[in-house]
Amino acid sequence: MTTTNERSREFSTVSVETQLVPRQRRFHVPVALVLKVLSVLAFLALWSAATEFGWVSPIFLPSPASVASQAGKLMSTGDLWASVLASSRRVFLGFALAGAVAVPLGIVMGVWWPAKAIVDPFISLLRPLPSITWIPLSILWLGIGESQKTAIVFMGSWIYILLYTLESTKRVDPILIRAARNLGASDLAIMREVILPGALPGILAGLKVTMAISWSCVISAEMVAAQNGLGALIWFAKDWGNLPLVLVGMVGISLTVLVADALAERIEWLLLPWERHRRG
Amino acid sequence: MATILTADHVTKEFPGARGRGLLAVRDVCLDVAESEFLCLLGASGCGKTTLLNIFAGFIQPSAGRVLLQGKPITGIEPRCGMVFQSYALFPWKTVRGNVEFGLKMKGVPPAERRQIADRFIDMVKLRGFEDRYPTELSGGMQQRVTLARILAADPEVLLMDEPFAALDAMTRQVMQEELLRIHEQSRKTTVFITHNIDEALILADRIVVLSARPGRVKAIVENDLPRPRHVAIQLTPQYSAFKAKVWQYVEEEVQKHVEADRPSTA
């Protein structure tokens, strides 16, 4: 601390701007972090007070402490991890399948208009359907096993991935395509060297957004018909009248999606080296 | 000197609303000599970019034709390398990746590619920035990369579409100086578009003054200012006298252009 003060005194002859800018930056992140922590603590305090002083009946809202102890119990038995794992597997399978179908299809539609014309009507018809509307049909066709959950995730995800991919492919700057041709690039080289890398940031952004949607699909599918997974956990807890367990399940979903998001962020960072300095 | 690029009665009309086409270029005839530095000088909207895009084969003329070494240009022509005003660098490729691009497309093996690219990166004074991405560089540096990229691809003709227009005045001057140096080294045939008289005077061997829309060749002026040139030539009386002469041709056209753009109050 002293050194910092001495330093700033030492540099006080330097123009004010050059000093202020790094200083603000140095304090910017911690202050924001402190605010975030305080905001969460204040919320927890308010929640505790509400249950502690009987402002809200425990029938409607359990105390944070009871939720925490429920979470602890569930973690020690391993049931929480099993639920997280079961849901994650379904999301991963359905999402990967959706990506494997929708990304190539979206690129083809972006560069070749007949493909777009052929697929467009189906997109228009399917897009307004929430993924849960597929639950009756999927149960009829696939039963209530894993493939049915995967199918629900797939049906809820692929169109979004497709639309993001299509849009990103079409948005590749035509000047870059022109420049590549001017430098002697063939059609295949344009695809490999210009369109794919040009569309990649948009495709990845779309995948990230869609992953959260995939999670909401799996939870609704599990609530309707499943033996395990976070959605089933919440649904059973409701039936048992175990409100703290319902909240544990909900927090579990939030945290799992946050972890998945952080992973996706990391993958994006690895795949887009040219955008790193902009993201910081 | 031998003619390398010829515009033979080139006319370009763009389809417009209600069947009224926009005539961008009308009946342009032009011979570009090998190794010369030719400036197309004209006010904005005079069709100079259209003409350059026709030379590159990006668009086809409505009438007339363009010949490169005696053969008509019918599609995008890699032997006419374009330097875009907006740089058009590939953001996902490093400086080296961008400069190597044309060589890669020609199938030059990686080791040789790298060697050639490094030579041109040196030429535009970007050594030390080989592994940077374009967005990490300033505008002037990005334009140097574009220049190196096109020079490494080694086209027969260099087409430059107001390449320095987006740069600040000082950077622009430095880039003009660099281009003078590079052209005097390589003697690569160059067609350079500008609306800036000084730029044309400093760089060109010949200046083609284009008329207001539709673009036509209004005058072709030989630039006798001595070479090797330096931007400081702007301070000489010889330069001022020459500038006055070119300005005469340009002024009329600028007036016309201003009047044409004024909304009619009939």
Alpha helical stretches, state H, A225-242: 230-239
Same domain, B178 and B213: yes
Alpha-carbon gap, residue B238 to B231, rounded angstroms = 14
pLDDT at residue A271 tops 80: yes
Distance from CA of A186 to the nearest CA of B (A): 8
Dihedral of CA A230/A231/A232/A236: which sign? positive
Nearest to B256 by CA among B197, B215, B201, B228: B215
Q: Describe the crossing of helices A196-224 and A146-170 by its angle, rounded to 10 degrees.
A: 150
pLDDT at residue B51 tops 80: yes
* B88/A contact by beta carbon, under 8 A: yes
Same domain, B39 and B96: no
* B264/A contact by beta carbon, under 8 A: no
A176·B90 Cβ contact <8 A: yes
pLDDT at residue B85 tops 50: yes
Instruction: Provide, as residue numbers in chain A, all residues whose Cβ is less than 8 Å from the Cβ of B86.
Output: 175
Alpha-carbon gap, residue B213 to A223, rounded angstroms = 69
Order the strands of the B217-222 sheet from edge to edge.
B80-83, B157-161, B189-194, B37-41, B206-210, B217-222
Nearest chain A residue to B101, by CA: A183
Same domain, B109 and B54: no
Instruction: Provide, as residue numbers in chain A, all residues whose Cβ is less than 8 Å from the Cβ of B76.
Output: 178, 181-182
DSSP string, A123-135: HHHHTTS-GGGGH
Q: State both tokens at B160.
A: 């430059």
Same domain, B67 and B102: no
We report the CATH number of the domain holding residue B70 as 3.40.50.300
Nearest chain B residue to A199, by CA: B92
Distance from CA of B250 to the nearest CA of A (A): 30
A185·B56 Cβ contact <8 A: no
Q: Describe the crossing of helices A135-142 and A196-224 by its angle, rounded to 10 degrees.
A: 80
Q: Which residues of A37-57 are buried (b: 16+ CB within 10 A; e: fewer)?
A: eeeeeeeeeebeeebeeeeee
B105·A184 Cβ contact <8 A: yes
Q: What is the pLDDT of residue A25?
A: 52
pTM, whole model, 2 decimals? 0.82
* B58/A contact by beta carbon, under 8 A: yes
* B217/A contact by beta carbon, under 8 A: no
- Look at chain B and report how many structural domains it folds into: 2
Give pLDDT tens digits for B238-254. 999 999 988 888 887 77
Structural domain span for residue B115: 89-154
Per CATH, domain A64-279 is 1.10.3720.10: yes
Q: Describe the crossing of helices B139-153 and B169-186 by its angle, rounded to 10 degrees.
A: 20
ipTM of this complex: 0.88
Same domain, B230 and B102: no
Give pLDDT tens digits for A151-194. 999 999 999 999 999 999 999 999 999 999 999 999 999 999 99
Same domain, B235 and B142: no
User: Which of B154, B175, B191 is where one domain is finished?
Assistant: B154
Same domain, B116 and B187: no
Instruction: Provide, as residue numbers in chain A, all residues whose Cβ is less than 8 Å from the Cβ of B101.
Output: 180, 183, 185, 193
Same domain, B167 and B242: yes
